[in-house]
Amino acid sequence: MADQGLVRETACAVVEKLKAGEVTPLDLLDVLESRVAEVDSKVNALPTPCFDRAREHAKALMRKPAAERGLLAGLPVPIKDLTDVAGVLTTQGSPIFKDSIPAKSDILVETLEHNGGVIYAKSNTPEFGAGANTFNEVFGPTRNPWDTSRSAAGSSGGAAVALATGTAWLAHGSDMGGSLRNPASFCGIVGLRPSIGRVAHTPKFGVDRTLGVQGPMARNVEDLALLLDAMSGEHPADPLSLPALPASFLSAARSGQKPKRVAYSPDLGITPVDPEVRAVTRKAAERLEEAGAIVEEAHPDLREAHECFHVLRAFDFAISKAALLRSRRDLLKPEVIWNIEEGLKLSVEQLERAEAQRVAMTARTLAFFDTYDLLLTPATIVPPFPVENRYVAECDGKKFDNYVEWLGIVYAITLACCPALSLPCGFTASGLPVGLQMVAKPRAEAQLLAGANVLEDILGLRGATPIDPRAPK
């Protein structure tokens, strides 16, 4: 019987055990299958297991010498249900694709498997990743393990909950308007939106779509860096992909490099924020002073973010989903229909204006990073909300105009082309996690991970997960 205590180990520690021959990939799959059976029915994080496929892959990997099993050495990793895994049900959270089994894996999956990752499950996502609450008509809602009456956020909600409950050591996710950062914040784990091109993926519907990226999630910063290393690198089929850097992201995270000057902004000047979230994140940001950093309140000028994101996101939905609106409208959720229709109404003048706004915001943000090493903000403007609420309709007295406006604090950073992560930084009075968004200039993931690891040490919250799912108090 494999040791169930392994679920509490860090990914880095488990990989070392794999490399030393102390455990095998098959042992780890046994551990995970048992843990999934124990807890997943309470949270619905991994609705599509594929353990038979995983064991075949693990056996093939074990036939290689230990030194040739890749960076992850056989560590199991779940894939978000928006991304194709050959031979495995990939629904995108949509009734339209409830029986879809792709013949070929996404480039991202091929990269992970080449680097020693073993795919054992698909993690739950909202329909087409639309909206920051993980529920869909195929599998139902994913619940927050800190309080199962609460949302896990989204769209990488299943991935975050798997990490928080010990049914994953590392997890894949993706992010357009905060989908790696919001669930990390709500679930007390770490999620990183990398720079455009850092993680190669299979282009669909357009080769130059840059709002959405693929990225890693983990329980701590070093594990996050390990998975980013295993995901990174260029691929000829993804024209935007970047070559791997000479030094690993894990070595960067462990470098001890401290930021000298950081900015904290409670709201980026563009959004209301729950007072408790504001207080918890400010207190955490100020603790970087203990590492010798100067912490000042400041932010770049991102005032066009709401208008710009609304237009560019709608355009992306029109490109990628208009054919489904024409053929399968009856099976699309209202928010997805709204997104596509907003995109189809756009004029070239609106697109011209939005693209110019994005260029201007990115330039101003780059100039901001001439002064500051990092920018810190709340990762999500509210604590985890009731799971039956489809989205956040208002915050601190302000009603939002649409179902994505409450995500402005993260999608503004998406528009500025910056890497950003959510780091667990404290809890509300009722014991729900709060995440701190940490942002660096484009392509500065190494600097970001180093600073996040320093703050993680100071805050002392590493090891708060995994937890057993907790019923409402």
How many whole angstroms from its chain centre is CA 435? 12
Question: Do residues 171 and 192 touch, judged by C-beta distance below 8 A?
Answer: no
Q: Taking the mean position of all CA atoms in its chain, how far away is CA 461?
A: 19
> Minimal CA–CA distance to 408: which of 395, 424, 390?
395
3-state DSSP helix/strand/coil % of the chain, to nearest 5: 40, 15, 45
Q: Which of 105, 123, 155, 422 is catalytic?
A: 155
Strands annotated E in 300-359? none
> How far apart, in whole angstroms, are the C-alpha atoms of residue 437 and residue 199?
20
Per annotation, catalytic residue among 17, 80, 122, 321: 80
- Is residue 292 within 8 A of residue 258, CB to CB? The reply is yes
- Concatenate the DSSP letters of all residues of 101-120 into one string: --SS--HHHHHHHHTTEEEE
Q: CA separation (Å) from 194 to 113, 179, 227? A: 20, 12, 12
Q: Which of 105, 151, 156, 179 is catalytic?
A: 179
* Phi-psi category of residue 376: left, alpha or beta, with phi > 0 → left and psi -120 to 50 → alpha: beta
Angle between helices 348-368 and 305-328 (to 10 degrees): 140
179 catalytic? Reply is: yes
**DSSP labels for 369-430?**
TTT-SEEEEESSSS---BTT-SS--EETTEEPSSTTGGGHHHHHHHHTT--EEEEEEEE-TT
Which residue in the block uniquely carries the two structure tokens 């504001």? 278
Distances (CA, A) of 276 to 282, 383, 424, 453: 10, 8, 15, 24
> Is residue 59 among the annotated active site residues?
no
Q: Is 204 annotated as catalytic?
A: no
What CA–CA distance (Å, rounded) separates 192 from 184? Answer: 9
Q: Which positions are catalytic?
A: 80, 155, 179
